[in-house]
Structure 1
Amino acid sequence: MSIELPAHGLKLQARIQTASAKIGIIGMGYVGLPLAVAFGEAGCPVLALDSDAEKVEALNAGRSYIKHVQNDRIAPLVEAGRLGATADLERLAEADVILICVPTPLTRHLEPDLEYVEATTKAIAKTLRKGQLVILESTTYPGTTREVMQPILESTGLTAGSDFFLAYSPEREDPGNPSFSTTQIPKVVGADDLVSADLALAVYRHIVPQTVAVSSAATAEAVKITENVFRAVNIALVNELKLIFTAMDIDVWEVIDAAKSKPFGFMPFYPGPGLGGHCIPIDPFYLTWKAREYNQHTRFIELAGQINADMPAHVVRVLADTLDARSGRGLRGARVLMMGVAYKKNVDDIRESPALRLMEMIEARGATADFFDPHVTQINGTREHPTLNYRSTVPWEAVKDGRYDAVLIATDHDGIDYAELVASAALVVDTRNACGRAGVVSDKIVRA
């Protein structure tokens, strides 16, 4: 089926096809920065926009502030003039394609907070012109692109699908995963008109091996929600199995490792101290909130959320009970070392990390909590955990000198000498089976 494009649409299409369309990306975090680098390396001119002056300065100097995006990928793009950064949103007028990669957190009442999406869309509207393509990548509930963004953009007098173009393509970043970088993950794209969909698909074909077109923006939004609900529910399942099997004196990690030998009908998920990262702890509640509008209930999803939310309390109970059984002192007055505060192994991202909640809970019980993390030098910018801001990692020497009553492994980073850790510690509470996978066996180790 041929698509009729207006003159400004034809011009944009030609610029996209020749990689001369300027790609403006708003939000230079864990999603936006890898995208900017990917488009720059594909030969597209990129305008990186962020309100953080330090990020803008770093990018223009060719420096990265995210561990898994190296300087040697950014500097050549800056030197070649294919990547420039700014905090000036009025420069959005220069962009032919605008990608939105801003946070979508939850409120205290577990409802969607679209403050950043709305503010960004209003900023785009101020300079919106015919022939621009706007794509939302931030994870959100089905209907956001059409119900929230489109009215703001059309308040300019321009019409989506004819004057400007609007689409949704969910981010699928997995920071620290060497097997699946930005350019190796298929891109789902949805729009409410064929012209916008076709143009958005053409944009992403520059950087990914496969694009997956769906019938609407809401469908694409639902794809992302489904992916993360799937993970949240399955993690809740293995967390519950961990509690059951532990009571039966059965090793849940051994069970999972044996079960995954089945070549069909099983996918391994692993228990932990709670959910972390910007997506999995948050996205299911976006769907829960939206479902109420349609008088639908998300009982299964909410139960999974409750199970995962309860895991930090379970870990603290195990820690307190073990300390009490071995020393008779419990947590009050104890010195505890948190091993890892990143939300997942081998990254420097602390967003929604269960380790932060664990530290607060431990200190609320009268203990002190330090942390060691080779990827996180300091805890910064956590709105939910202000008492932890500006705390710095202790050196490895402090880990080894035996000053702590207990070490709690919250993040199973590679590169840690777990044998040395266990040898130096009085007690190790391992929530990730890090010691077991390292082949370290000791009666000092307790799994939680």
Structure 2
Amino acid sequence: MTDIDEQQTVAVIGQGYVGLPLAQAMCDVGLRVIGFEIADRTVQALNGGRSHVDDLSDNDIATMLGQGYRASSDPASLRDADVIVICVPTPLSDDGGPDLRAVEAATGTVARNLKPGATVILESTTYPGTTDDVVLPILSAEGAEHGTDFYLGYSPERVDPGSAHYGITNTPKLVGGVSPEATERAASFYERFVDTVVRMSGTKEAEAAKLLENTYRHVNIALVNEMARFCHDLGIDIWEVIRGAATKPFGFQKFTPGPGVGGHCIPIDPNYLSFQVKKTLGYQFRFVELAQEINNSMPAYVGSRLGDLLNDVGKPLNGSKILLLGVTYKPNIADQRESPAIPVAKVLREKKADISFHDPHVERWHVNGGTLDRVADLETALQESDAVVLLQGHSSYDLNWIADRAKLFFDTRGSSGRDDVHRL
């Protein structure tokens, strides 16, 4: 049986936006960390001191290497690990549920290279039951017994990329194990480098808690998106409405409308819960499906509103030069996963608009099967465009400067308070 000790070796499978910061936090408390990654190019870059994640610099990787970190694509390296944490992607599959192929492949690799007594922890976001019904059988397939040969738990990732306030160590960690002993082993491990560890009653409760967190955001974003639409039709300033409601010190949390939802969690995770409810219980999770319908309609709404604004100044959307500002899914990072800028661009192109883009964090934008280069000179592009659309409010944007140079400025994020700027 493996004890939690100062010389513990940990393998983190998946060195992306979840796994790499997690590995950094482990290195900082003296754990020996193996960053397992199947992409040889990523392994070579990390071992050469080069980062591919927004929140970590090359200097951070160099520090980790000095602390004993190493990246590897060799499955045999997992045999040294007392703890193995699986942080692989779970995108949506064609049927609307999670695509578990990466989880299954990673678990299979672990099963073939498992140190006796090791603790295995899944962090990938998925539907309730995955740890018990998918991961556990794979680990046990060759006769290994849970509670003797290995211990299995689930701890959902709660990474907030680009956040200046919350990171691995100060974000509470949920932990649920297949057994009470597995829960305790996983929790004791995370307590090495996380300030607050919350023990859950089981794996399914921990899995469902993560989905509830993001479903809550998904539904509330849909609420304000729908309010933004009818407030516009009623001649009501939605941003003033939100400002007023947000002064209430209890019973209200501020959410704001936008051109859609993006990122690795909000547009995807609630679907896991909806998928499992429908598959297992045979009925719909109607809140999630309605929220998805509303949020997915926002890019088309942005296109419609922009068409109306151009029409008011005597221009058709067809043939107009439209400059899109900010194409990442959240401010001040380069991550473009599920960015609403992509469906907005698709809508505008279908209406025959001539689109260009600027984003301080993105030089080349791969959008709708093509590639656009960032405009070379922002000031010139602002002046030459028929309309400028703010899709992401990066802090480096001087919105007054932009508004002074744009012929028509449509702010979908409500970042500007000027009367001559059109807001969603």
- Interval containing the TM-score (normalised by the shorter chain): over 0.9
Alignment counterpart, residue 152 of structure 1, candidates 119, 124, 138: 138
Q: Aligned runs of 1:217-232 on 2, under 5 Å? A: 217-232=203-218
Tell me how far apart the structure 2 counterparts of residues 399 and 261 of structure 1 sit (CA, whole Å): 40
| Partners of 2:368 and 2:20 in 1: CA distance | 26
Contact 1:400–1:424 (8 Å) recurs in 2: no
The whole-number CA distance in structure 1 between the counterparts of 2:407 and 2:168 is: 42
Instruction: Give the letter for the 1:387 counterpart.
Output: G
CA deviation profile, 1:24-43 (whole Å, cap 9, x unmatched):
11111111111011111111
1:27 pairs with 2:4? no
C-alpha distance after superposition, 1:353-381 (max 9, x if no partner): 0001111221121122221111122235x
Establish whether residue 345 from structure 1 lines up as the match of residue 326 from structure 2: no
* 3-state DSSP of counterpart to 1:167: strand
Which residues of 2 match residues 165-314 of structure 1 at below 5 A? 165-292=151-278, 293-314=280-301
CA distance in 1, matches of 2:337, 2:108: 26
**Cα distance in 2 for residues equivalent to 1:100 and 1:386:** 31
1:334-393 C-alpha deviation (Å, 9 max, x unpaired): 22111001101111111100001111221121122221111122235xxxx5514x4332
In the TM superposition, residue 93 of structure 1 has moved relative to its aligned partner by 1.5
Check whether the contact 1:400–1:420 (CA below 8 A) recurs between aligned residues: no
Q: Give the AA of the match of 1:113.
A: D
Distance 1:304 1:85, change over 3 A: same
Paired with 1:128 and 1:67, the residues of 2 have a C-alpha distance of: 32
Decide which of 404, 407, 415 is 1:423's aligned counterpart: 404
Describe the SS at the equivalent of 2:64: helix
Structure 2 counterpart of 1:307, one-letter code: I
Query: What 5-or-longer segments of structure 2 have no aligned partner?
Result: none
Query: How many angstroms apart in 2 are the aligned matches of 1:401 and 1:262?
Result: 39
In the alignment, which residue of structure 1 is the partner of 2:27?
A: 40
Mapped contact 1:400–1:421 kept (Cα < 8 A): no
Once the two structures are overlaid, the 10-residue window that deviates more, 205-214 or 43-52, is 43-52
Corresponding position of 1:334: 320
Once the two structures are superposed, residues 403-440 of structure 1 have per-residue CA deviations (whole angstroms, 9 ceiling, x without a partner) of 2111111101101111121122111111101222xxx4
Matches within 5 A, 1:69-218: 69-81=56-68, 83-218=69-204
* Structure-2 change in CA distance of 1:397 and 1:264 (3 Å): closer
- Output one character per residue of 1:173-231: Cα deviation in whole Å (capped at 9) or x when no partner: 11111111111101000012122111100111111111000111111000100000000
Give TM-score scaled by structure 1 length: 0.91
Residue 40 of structure 2 corresponds to residue 58 of structure 1: no
Deviation at 1:399, TM superposition (A): 5.2
Q: Counterpart in 2 of 1:67?
A: 54
Whether the aligned pair in 1 keeps the contact of 2:331 and 2:394 (CA below 8 Å) is yes
1:120 Cα deviation from its structure 2 partner: 1.1
CA contact (8 A) 2:27 2:67 kept: no
Shift in Å, 1:129: 3.2
**Deviation readout 1:142-200 (Å, 9 max, x if unpaired):** 00001111111111210122211110000001111111111110100001212211110
* Structure-2 separation of matches of 1:155 and 1:399: 63
Structure 1 distance, partners of 2:123, 2:156, is: 5
Relative to structure 1, the CA distance from residue 240 to residue 333 in structure 2 (aligned partners, 3 Å threshold; closer, same or farther) is same
Shift of 1:250: 1.6
* CA distance, structure 2, for counterparts of residue 392 and residue 297 of structure 1: 42
**1:351-366 paired onto structure 2 within 5 Å:** 351-366=337-352
| Deviation (angstroms), 1:255 | 1.4
**1:92-130 alpha-carbon deviations (Å, 9 max, x no partner):** 212211111111111233222111111111111221232
Partner of 2:392: 411
Structure 1's unaligned 5+ residue stretches are: 1-7
Aligned residues of 2:84 and 2:120 also touching (Cα < 8 A) = yes
Give the drift of 1:70.
2.5
Per-residue CA deviation, residues 235-276 of structure 1 (Å, 9 max, x unaligned), is 111111111211222221221122111111111111111110
Displacement of 1:62 after TM fit?
2.0
Amino acid at match of 1:408: V
- Do 2:147 and 2:182's aligned partners in 1 also have CA atoms closer than 8 Å? yes
SS at structure 1 position matched to 2:228: helix
* RMSD value, Cα: 1.6
What's the TM-score once normalised by structure 2's chain length? Answer: 0.96
Secondary structure of 2:384's counterpart equals: coil
Contact in 2 for aligned 1:17/1:202 (Cα 8 Å): no
Instruction: Give the equivalent residue in structure 2 for 1:4.
Output: none
Specify the alignment match of 1:446 in structure 2. 422
1:17 corresponds to 2:5: yes
CA gap of 1:54–1:427, structure 2 versus 1, over 3 A, is farther
Aligned AA (2:422): V
Q: Secondary structure at the match of 1:62?
A: coil
Correspondence for 1:315 among 285, 302, 311: 302
Distance 1:401 1:313, change over 3 A: closer
Aligned equivalents of 1:379, 1:162: Cα separation in 2: 50
CA contact (8 A) 1:183 1:208 kept: yes
For residue 322 of structure 2, give the secondary structure of its aligned residue in structure 1.
strand
Cα pair 2:82 2:115 within 8 Å, conserved? no
